[in-house]
Amino acid sequence: MIAGDLIDVEVRDADGERLGYVVDLRLVLDRPPEAGAVLAGARLHGLVVSPRTRTSFLGYERTSVRAPWPIAQLLRRRHRGSFLVHWPDVASVPSLDATRRGKGAIVVLRRGFDRYDPALT
């Protein structure tokens, strides 16, 4: 699986209720470097789910980025209600078949998953 198989994909909860779309992946660099690599290995920490839009945050998920004010406001409004869900709370990812066909791909979350603040400080 590559990042592109998850980004833009619809997200549902265990009851099949639509929650939004995957707009970003959060990675943590805390694994030992792979052979010959300088940088720490990356681990998938979780998915950022936005309820209404597949468009990107354009970097405004960082609370330190507030300028220019109107654009920051507009993007925050569009992504209101976005949340971060940890990777262990993801019950299923799109099947290889659905990814290939380019439709019917969904991410399903575990019952009782936790919503975290997606903001980066």
Partner 1 sequence: MRGPLAVALGILTAIGGFLDAGDLVTNAVVGSRFGLTLAWVVVMGVIGICVFAHMSGKVAAVSGRATFEIIRERLGPRAAGANLVASLAVTVLTLTAEIGGMALALQLASSVERRLWMPVAALAVWLVLWRVRFQVMENVTGLLGLTLIGFAVALYLLGPDWGELARQTLQPAVPPSEGAAVYWYFAIALLGAAMTPYEVFFFSSGGVEERWTVKDLATSRLNVFVGFPFGGVLSIAIAGCAAVVLLPLGIEVDAMSQIVLPVAQAGGPLLLAVVIVGLVSATTGAALETALSAGYTLSQYLGWSWGKFRRPAEAARFHVAMIVALVVAVGVLMTGVDPIAVTEYSVVFSAVALPLTYLPILVVANDPEYMGEHVNGRVLNAVGTLYLVILVVASAAAVPLMIVTEAGA
Distances (CA, A) of 6 to 78, 93, 106: 20, 8, 9
Give the containing element (helix H, strand E) for 90: strand 90-92
Q: How far apart are CB 69 and partner 1 at their closest, in Å?
A: 8
What would the x/- binding string for partner 1 be over residues 27 to 46, using CB under 8 A? Answer: --------------------
Binders in 54-83 for partner 1, by CB under 8 A: 54-56, 58-59, 64-65, 67-71
Q: Kindly state the number of chain residues that form the binding site for partner 1, as judged by CB under 8 A.
A: 15
Residue 96 Cβ, how far from partner 1 at the closest point, in Å? 20
Q: Which is nearer to partner 1, 53 or 91 (CB)?
A: 53
**For residue 20, which of 60, 52, 44, 48 has the smallest C-alpha distance?**
52
Nearest to 50 by CA among 81, 74, 8, 76: 81
| Amino acid letter for position 7 | I
Interaction site with partner 1 (CB under 8 A): 4, 7-8, 54-56, 58-59, 64-65, 67-71
